[in-house]
Amino acid sequence: MERQAQRQRIEHGGLILFLALITVAFIAVVADFAGALLWAALAAVLFQPIFRRLLTRLPGRANLASALTLLIITFAVVIPTMIVASLVLDQAASVYNQVRSGQINFATYFKQMHDALPMRLQRLADSSGLDSFNNVQARISTALGSSVSIIAGQALSIGRNAASFLLAFGVGLYVTFFLLRDGEEIGGIIVRALPLEPVVAERLADKFVAVVRATIKGSGVVALVQGALGAITFWIVGLPAFLLWGMLMAIAALLPAVGPALIWAPVALYLLATGAIWQAIVVVLSGVLVIGLIDNILRPILVGRDTGIPDWLVLVTTLGGISLLGLSGIVIGPLVGALFLTGWQILSEERQRPATTEPVVDERQASDPRA
């Protein structure tokens, strides 16, 4: 018996070692398509309710329901996103060329804002830690110029790597089809295979699905709506590259502590300082009464407010995720934060269980006639 137990431990250890090695090899093989696989999984989680609704109307035809769901994703999400992205990249490249040619000079704009300030504020700005306000102009101008250069560089990179992008995009759609059709079965297999108690694994899986849907349906959709409203506002007041600024506002709207005011407030100040009074008033009114309140209207309708993640943690994990993973970090960052909180909460409950839950179990067993 002892020799058999030792053999079983060796075989189990060998299986664990094999799984570790083959998992590392698998990750290395699919690394080039990691982004496509990630967004395919997120799309499958987000649109699973639509697939289920179609499946109830098409019983026994899972392939057709999955194909129709994929068609909805393509026409409702993918194609509009590509159109808007191409327009934004065109505007970014145009702004970059204007900056290089001198048609857009951020230093001149900041000087106009500086000269519009009262003399006391001008002197305060000139003596606020830097040698002169010209240094502030130079530094901010350099930062903005480099930011636009990065956006334009990304546009050129996408153009050069169009073939690989289309390949990854096709792989993502192909995988999404199967994840929609077989996602519930695959998810159950993964949950059962985790080296955790079934209750803990299911709880983590539920948190995963809830955070993905809350981040994309709640934060993502609300941010896109706020960015679109900002772009419309900037177009009304005649601001150049309004789509580019609207995209930046959508990104800022993902940050709960600052939000879209990070974009529209400086724009309003610039318009006010340069004498565009009615344009500044329109931007402020739109930012406060329309853009600022849309979050309070849409978020409860989409997912509700209780996602279990504090706003400060959403801010930190979103910024950290973007810094580490780029666009995918918008979802991965808050997801990691939510699973981190859930994991420690489960551990805390497990450590308290012997003192709180065992008496209840004993009472139920004592009252059960089959016990």
pLDDT in tens, 304-321: 555 566 777 777 887 788
Tokens of 364: 């139920």
**pLDDT score, position 121:** 66
pLDDT at 360: 41
**Residue 370's pLDDT band (boundaries 50, 70, 90)?**
very low
Highest mean pLDDT among 77-81, 158-162, 303-307: 77-81
In this prediction, residue 365 carries a pLDDT of 44
How far is residue 227's CA from residue 356's CA, in Å, rounded to a whole number? 49
Q: Is the pTM of this model over 0.85?
A: no
Among 288, 340, 351, residue whose Cα is nearest residue 310: 340
- In angstroms, rounded to a whole number, what is the distance separating the alpha carbons of residues 96 and 177? 39
Name the nearest CA neighbour of 181 among 74, 57, 54, 37.
54
Contact assessment for residue 329 and residue 320, using Cβ atoms and an 8 Å cutoff:
yes
- Tell me the pLDDT of the chain averaged across its residues: 74
Q: What is the pLDDT of residue 364?
A: 42
Residue 167, pLDDT > 50, answer: yes
259 vs 230: CA distance, rounded Å: 12
Domain ranges for the chain, please list them: 1-193, 195-349
pLDDT at site 366: 46
Looking at residue 159, its pLDDT comes to 53
Count of residues in the chain: 371
pLDDT above 70: residue 183: yes
Which residue has better confidence, 59 or 121? 59
